[in-house]
Amino acid sequence: MFTDNAPAPQESCLVLLSGGLDSAVVLALAKLNCKTIYTLSFSYGQKHEREHESATNLANHYNTMHYTSYDINLRSFKGLRETDDTLPMPFGLMPRTWKPGRNIMFLSYAGAFCVEHSIHMIAVGIHQEDQPGYPDCSGTFLCVMESVLQLGLSHPLSIWAPLLNKDKAYIVSLGGELEVPFELTWSCYEGGEKPCGKCDACIRRAAAFATMAKKDPLLKEEK
């Protein structure tokens, strides 16, 4: 598994593109290291379409071959997080936004996609701040999933997680250096015309921009 910002140059790469800050920065890094970029987004029962719009806009900006899967539905797990912010689990308290098995399914689907398109690297935006409450966002998980995909698909496949050991502020800084169009990204869980500013994703995004003394372009009209 690669955790550096620059792996060996690749003929092609699949970037899992959510439409958020992290995957947008990974996409920009992939453009520097890979000749042909495929991007893959998932529709799995989200509350809104804004992140799909952002993913499509980012894919168009970077001129990638963009695909969206509408075959994964995690709505059946929605009720697990309806009443409390956290839920006791074997690994500790899980955030309400965690969907059991989500990254396992995403990476499994991505691996099959790579076999079909003769791709040997999957790039993901998982990073340090995701790890405490999400068991499927750790380096150990990614290493194990890489081995599972290689064995189960009989295909030489690597997972590239260049932001794994970085925090959100670093990601914002790196994105600025790479001239990532943050105005095309979307982080808010609630959708709408503008970010709610109250959900966990909005709070973490705001903190990262504030730490780097940068203005979030999605809030440019606010006073």
- Cβ atoms of 129 and 167 closer than 8 Å: yes
Summary mean pLDDT of the chain: 86
pLDDT digits (tens, 9 = 90+) for 101-129: 789 999 999 999 999 999 999 999 999 87
Query: Residue 21 carries which DSSP code?
Result: H
Phi, psi of 200 (to 5 degrees): -60, -40
Query: Which runs of consecutive H residues, i.e. helices, occur in 118-199?
Result: 139-153, 168-177
pLDDT band at 131 (very low <50, low <70, confident <90, very high): low
Alpha-carbon distance of 166 to 145, in angstroms, equals 20
Output 77 or 89, whichever has higher pLDDT. Answer: 77
Residue 23 has pLDDT above 50, yes or no: yes
Distance CA 126, CA 130 (A): 7
Residue 89, pLDDT above cutoff 70: no
CA dihedral 209, 21, 165, 65 (to 10 degrees): -160
Q: SS3 of 178, please?
A: coil
Helix (H, G, I), strand (E, B) or coil at 152: helix
- Which one has a higher pLDDT value, 186 or 48? 186
Distance CA 213, CA 112 (A): 41
Nearest to 172 by CA among 218, 135, 141, 139: 218
Average pLDDT over residues 35-40: 96
pLDDT score at 3: 82
Q: What does the H/E/C string look like for 18-51?
A: CCCHHHHHHHHHHHHHEEEEEEEEECCCCCCCHH
Question: How does 67-104 read in b/e, with b if 16+ C-beta sit within 10 Å?
Answer: eeeeeeeeeeeeeebeeeeeeeeeeeebeeebbeebbe
Tokens of 185: 């990204």
pTM for the model stands at 0.87
Q: Which band of pLDDT confidence, cut at 50, 70 and 90, is reported for residue 217?
A: very high
Spatial distance between the Cα atoms of 131 and 124, rounded to a whole number of angstroms: 14
Domains defined along the chain, listed by start: 10-219 (3.40.50.620)
Q: Comparing C-alpha atoms, which of 19, 216, 112 is closest to residue 27?
A: 19
- Measured between alpha carbons, how far is 55 from 39 in angstroms, rounded to an integer? 9
pLDDT band at residue 40 under the 50/70/90 scheme: very high
Nearest to 18 by CA among 63, 47, 59: 59
Give pLDDT, residue 223.
42
Q: Are strands 86-89 and 92-95 parallel, antiparallel or unpaired?
A: antiparallel
